[in-house]
Structure 1
Amino acid sequence: MTSRPGAAAVADPTGHRYAWTAPHTGTAGNGESAGAFEAVVAGGGPAGAVAALVLARAGRRVLLIDKDTGGPGHSPFKIGETLPPAAGLLLHDLGLWPGFAADAHLRCPGTYASWGSDGLDGRSHLYDPHGHGWHLDRRRFDAFLRGAAETAGAELRQAEAVPLGAGAGDRRLLIREGGRLKEVRCDWVVDATGRRAVIGRRRAQRRKQDRLMAVFALFDRRLPAHRTEDAELRTLVEAAPQGWWYTARVPAGRLVAHLTDADLSDAALRTPEGFLGAVAGTRHIRSRLDGYDPARAPAPRWAAAHGLRLRPAAAPGWIAAGDAAIAFDPLSSQGILTALHTGARAGRAVDLCLAGEVDALADYSMFLDRIADAYERHHAESYGQERRWPSHAFWERRQRSP
């Protein structure tokens, strides 16, 4: 990617370009000595870490909690690995580009897709004005963002939120830390707890788009006879009668995932043998596993993948960001980028509210509405392009008239 920090291109779907204050050098992060934090951010993924970063740089007393703060190697592989080219602008604006560029993430030069036909359609990022995208080491990326927030002044603790009531005016939060429950007082809570929306689900309504789920496996070692590295860096997407597949080369190996509805999934996919058997039935995905040892096939894992919207996503005293506020079908490849944007916007909104600017929450809600409108339009267009299996339940559900 050609870095152009001063480029005029937009940095989020609404055309907003971020300009952040300089890193705070005061006492943010020492809030507990004063008896309270101005904000507690629950969840240390991309949305939560960036929200804490923005608040700390604004001079706010911030506590960032996450149940897994151990960094690379501490937790299992985490699905959600694609960062599109436009993310480079946001990373520049946040002052995070040098650290990000120095990490061991793999570039993604484009995609291949068997979608709407049996052949592969290649799309390159060569002509994308933002350059190439990335396939992330998610554990490393998340730890990098948490470290940036901590450097800016946020206090980081290994803990998780336990919501206390649903009242919008409640300024208490229970956290579970070291096996013990503790009460933390704060002015604002940022819910960045992912699809669980630990805080928001008690204060708002959640609407699921469908029943999409992902079953995935990471293949991390090739046979000795294949001494060359797996050098195919493009994402490959392949539609199938009961859903769709994708595979991506990530720093830890090769990820293969199958997306289908929970009620349509085959129980055999839960075993390594069943998963490999399903891969063998694909036309293109199977070729990406050439050279990987089937005897070392890992046990597949499962994750929710449906679109999700929380409404409202903010009210006095709390705000949701990332998947807690709006989650996308992975076909969009926009989940992490949207988490970064919503985290940054949520942090900014809380800072403005603390400063007495009452319109900040309404502006944030409108920002989410614009993102949701664009996502729903593109989602319908993308699924509408696949017409080979109109009588199969998975596709029939997605091609109904609204």
Structure 2
Amino acid sequence: MTCYDVLVAGGGPAGAAAALTLARAGRSVLLAHSGRGPAPVGEALPAAARVLLGDLGADDALTDGHLPCLANRSAWGGPRLASTDSVFDPHGHGWHLDRVRFDRQLRAHARTQGARLATGVTAQPNGRTADGSWVVELRGAGERRTVRCRWLIDATGRRAALATACGARRRTGDRLVALHLTLGPADPADPDTTTTVEAAPDGWWYTAPLPTGRRLLVWYTDADLPAADPGRPAFAARLAATRHILELAARHPWPAGAAPRRAPAHTARLADPTGDGWIAAGDAAAAFDPLSSQGILTALYTGLAAGRAVHARLVGQADALDAYRADLAAIGATYLRNHRTHYAAEQRWPDHPFWRRRHPPPGGGGHPTLVAIPGPSPHMPG
């Protein structure tokens, strides 16, 4: 039975960052990438990611196949569209990612540094040996095999599959859901290179161009509200009521017969992101409101930090996990302050359930479980 220092479950940015960090530190690593579920759609990556990618030794992950994001625009707190240009960002411009390509590039970097990659498999812990090693079953298409490892890193996304299997408790803070649709290529090519956010009575819209020439269109609302109807007629009617998003979407054809797909976007976190022999990173540790536009940035950061924490623990640094937990707690506290401020800036529909839930009552309240990388968001006003 093959034995590794660490098994990382999840081949997205968090898992790849953790595997890359550990492999560069000389650890034997198996990165288990299931490749299941719908392919990730495009996403904007802030310019600050240059620093993290440099720390990971993956500076060239953005050199090919991605579209520069030159400005972030928002109609928030009023109908006027405000813009923040990348020329004012010390790190330069951000990117509209080809997510499939980006994730694949990061996994390739991890392999180059010595990590083993198992694709098309899921990891299922099946107990531990007398010396504390994990026994993990890898299941794929017609394949089952067992490996051992000293540590597990859960980067399986919001499911937190390994952590919850180990008894971790998952907490949620809201009911946010995303209804997303990818529009066809514009003819002629759409010149827009921005991300655009527009608040509405029962939620908010997000749109951005994709490197393929297509356009991503997303409606965010709460899953229990009538506005969460995923039907194409309801989606189109809400879009028609927008002032700025409709103008951008109108440049692109709707795929024949296509309807919006629904995806979870709610706030969630583990009560404790670490345990005996395991640690969680990315959305498995903490997932938060997409308004911050820092999901991938957080995934890269927590993957890097989790990898460093596990390596430090393996060399005998007893407080390595305490430092990781404290880091995530500080990140959460900073984000909570920003989140309250940014949602409070939109006061046009105070009696609508979506906004009322996000406006804390006098004296406090709000969303105590939100977690994200600290710092101002390009999509949040202020």
TM-based fold match above 0.5: yes
Q: From 58, 79, 95, give the equivalent of 2:25.
A: 58
Does the CA contact (< 8 Å) of 1:80 and 1:336 recur in 2? no
Q: For residues 297 and 332 of structure 1, do their structure 2 counterparts lie closer, same or farther at Cα, with a shift above 3 Å needed?
A: farther
Does the CA contact (< 8 Å) of 2:229 and 2:235 recur in 1? yes
Correspondence 1:372-383 to 2 at 5 A: 372-383=332-343
| TM-score normalised by the chain length of structure 2 | 0.89
**1:52, 1:161 → 2: CA distance?**
15
Matched, 1:139 2:100: yes
Does the CA contact (< 8 Å) of 2:312 and 2:320 recur in 1? yes
Q: Secondary structure at the match of 1:357?
A: coil
Does the CA contact (< 8 Å) of 1:196 and 1:324 recur in 2? yes
Match of 2:377 in 1: none
Does the CA contact (< 8 Å) of 1:219 and 1:254 recur in 2? yes
Match of 1:126 in 2: 87
Does the CA contact (< 8 Å) of 2:340 and 2:360 recur in 1? no
Matched, 1:79 2:46: no
Q: What code does the residue aligned with 1:94 have?
A: L
Correspondence 1:341-352 to 2 at 5 A: 341-352=301-312
Q: For residues 265 and 66 of structure 1, do their structure 2 counterparts lie closer, same or farther at Cα, with a shift above 3 Å needed?
A: farther
After superposition, the C-alpha distances for 1:249-281 in whole angstroms (9 at most, x for unaligned) are 11131000000000014464333x432232112
**1:260, 1:162 → 2: CA distance?**
34
Q: Which runs of 4+ in 1 moved over 4 A?
A: none
Q: From 164, 174, 177, give the equivalent of 1:210.
A: 174
Match of 1:174 in 2: 137
Match of 1:48 in 2: 15
By how many angstroms is 1:162 displaced?
A: 2.4
Q: What code does the residue aligned with 1:329 have?
A: D
| TM-score normalised by the chain length of structure 1 | 0.85
Q: For residues 51 and 267 of structure 1, do their structure 2 counterparts lie closer, same or farther at Cα, with a shift above 3 Å needed?
A: closer
By how many angstroms is 1:163 displaced?
A: 3.9
Q: From 163, 168, 173, give the equivalent of 1:200.
A: 163
**1:376, 1:265 → 2: CA distance?**
27
Q: Secondary structure at the match of 1:91?
A: helix
Q: How many residues align?
A: 358
**2:196, 2:257 → 1: CA distance?**
20
Does the CA contact (< 8 Å) of 1:219 and 1:297 recur in 2? no
Q: Secondary structure at the match of 1:371?
A: helix
Correspondence 1:1-400 to 2 at 5 A: 35-68=2-35, 76-79=38-41, 81-97=43-59, 99-158=60-119, 159-164=121-126, 171-202=134-165, 203-222=167-186, 226-227=187-188, 229-252=189-212, 253-266=214-227, 268-271=229-232, 273-294=233-254, 296=256, 298-400=258-360
Q: What code does the residue aligned with 2:270 have?
A: L
**1:165, 1:206 → 2: CA distance?**
21
**2:133, 2:268 → 1: CA distance?**
25
RMSD: 2.0
Q: Which range moved further: 283-292 or 391-400?
A: 283-292
Any gaps of 5 or more consecutive residues in structure 2? Answer: 366-382
**1:242, 1:279 → 2: CA distance?**
12
